[in-house]
Each structure stands twice: as C-alpha cells, then as structure tokens.
Structure 1
C-alpha cells in the first residue's frame, strides 16, 4: 500500500471509497481493508482519523445524512412549482437511487453500527428517518400553499411514501424502477389529498 501520499481530505476520500465498495459489493464486503484498498491508502490511514471501523461507518452514515439536508432544502424550496407528484417522484428517486439505499442495508447488517447510531438517533432507521422528515416538510409546505389538503396528515403520508419507495427500490441488482413506476406509487399515496 502507498504510504506518505498526501490526501486533501482523507475522510472524504475514505467515505467515497467506502461508498464504491458498498454499491459494488454490498454491506458484507465492507471492511476496513476493502475501504483502504479501494482508496489506495495504507490501512493505518483509516485508524488515524477514526477510533475503529464502526466509528468510521457511523461517520459515513452521518455524512450521507448531512448531504440529504441539502436535498431537503431544495425540495422544500420547490413547493409551489411543478407538480406535487413530480417533485416527490424526483425526491424519492434521488434518495433511493443513491448510496442511501445501500447505507440502510449497511445499518441493518452491522449490529455495532446500529448500536453506535442509536446513541444519537434513538428512533427510526437513520437515513430513512431523515428522508421521512424531508418528505413531511415538503408536504407541509405544499399544504400551506393549498396544493395539499389542509387536513392531510403529512407525517403519515411521508412514512407511506418512504416505506413504499424503499420497497420499490430495494433488492434490485442493477436496474432501478423507471420514473413511471415511482410516479404511480406517489400518485396512489397522495392522490386523495392533492388538488
């Protein structure tokens, strides 16, 4: 392994390598050696920045959640534009078409990671919980604009959309559901409350 190679942002470099391994080989193949090999660095580099591998994985999850916050802001700002179904279709495709789906599998697969994440996120599955909050926030904004019924339970609708989206995208080896399939699910969930 190379040593003495200067990395601009070693943590981000390691996160990107972990995401590639996770997407390509799945959660059971994600080891510290696989990450450092993928990143092209010595194994000690990972342990220089993280206490142990579960600490690294927890930071990987939190990094993905932080990126989702930017998506949540953009989705809320789209309220009142396009169609509600179109905006939600795009949001679900972005969430589940990314590494987020693989991270959910990783959280499910690794007990130590789940236990570490429970210390700061005691409720829900990280990533799915944030996706649910993102969708609920958007639906609330649309409700305020009158494009979603005033009595709509946006939290329940968000749970339904995220759960359905997760099931729609999960377990696919190489192909994602097409836009029409995602839109059908969205329309089924929100049809009764949208104008």
Structure 2
C-alpha cells in the first residue's frame, strides 16, 4: 500500500495493543450579567497499534465506552496518514462484524445548526400567525417578513453547509473529536465499503 500523507486510506491488520489517555479541558463561561462559571469537557485519546503498521492509529472521542475491540481482532481502519500517526475516521472489525465511524467536530455540530433553523422556523410561523390574527391586511408587511425570513434561513444554511463540510469548526468541540467534517466522514464510509444494509451496524465514535 502506498502511504500518502493527507489522503484517506485503509490499513489492515490484527490489533496488537490499545492504550487510552484522558483529556480534560476547562472552559470559562461568562454570562450577560457578568457572573463567571467553569465547566470541564472530557474525552479519551485512543491509540491503536496493528501488527502490520509501525505507526499508531489515533482517535479522540468522548464516546470511548462504545468502542469494543479486543486483542488479535482483525481490523480495517480508514484513516488519514500524518507524519507520526494515522487519524482514525472509521473501523471495521472483521472478527465480530462491528462498524465504527468517527464524528468529526463539524459533523457533531449539525444538531445545533438544525435546532437553530427549527427554532427560527417556529418563530417565523408565530409572527405570520400573529399578523393574521391582528387583522394585518397589508401585503407589503407579509412580503417584507418573508424576505427577512428567507435571508436568515439562507445565512443559517450557509453556516450549516460550511460546518457540515468542515470548513470551520467549533474549537470547544474540536479539542475532543477528530478534525474535519462530513467530507472525511463520507470518505471513511466509502473506504470501508459500507453497504446500505450495514448502516444499522454503525456505532458513532
């Protein structure tokens, strides 16, 4: 296999060893009232070594309890080659048939983006209903409201698309997940040749 830096490739072999290291970061939160609070974010840096590869395969995730692989398990790992290690984006355990896909930081934020869009949609509908209830008959008011709503939805869609494809990420999230976005996720999906019938077997990491 040709090892090309920065390219998604599959490395195969048997699990030789696995090591975990806890990572904790403290974040300071300042409210509008000026009060200060702190919160801790935790994740695990998991280092997998295969008998066929001299460099470790590494994944950073807060879902380490969902990863079940044992010594001598035959693995196909979809990852991107770096100078000192391989960033893991997908694992196929050939021994028990399980599948794992990493959730890069930009992909993990999709729930937040969709929630924001849904909330705005609800607010927009409430405003339209309120205008109708109060007997607003000016077509210009509805047209203006519709234009403003379309602009905001367009902005949310652009931001969602940028995060979805990993063009920018949330630093708080990215410290505890693999870098990238949907592009890397789909590359790993293709590299491991996951069929539609196997999608229910995928465990997110």
Note whether the superposition's TM-score is higher than 0.5.
no
Larger radius of gyration: 2
- Higher relative contact order (Cα pairs below 8 Å, separated by 6+ residues): 2
- Report the TM-score range of the alignment, normalised by the length of the smaller protein: 0.3 to 0.5
Structure with the bigger percentage of helix? 1
